[in-house]
Amino acid sequence: MQNAHMSALELKHAGLDARISEENQRPNPDMATITRLKKEKLKIKEAILGL
């Protein structure tokens, strides 16, 4: 069960990473969105490390 949860978190983490990259590629990146995504990504990373 814990492996499935960890896999789900890792997928979500990778998805956020992709969204951050996409936002950075835009001609006029929204820094508020990038900051929010990075905070969300950090929370997920902390959850993964806590498992």
3-state secondary structure of 8: helix
Task: Domain count for the chain, please give it.
Answer: 1
What are the tens digits of pLDDT across the range 28-42?
Answer: 999 999 999 999 999
What are the tens digits of pLDDT across the range 13-28?
Answer: 999 999 999 999 999 9
Q: What is the pLDDT of residue 50?
A: 87
Q: How many whole angstroms separate alpha carbon 26 and alpha carbon 24?
A: 6
- pLDDT for residue 3 is more than 70: yes
> Residue 37 sits in which domain range?
1-49
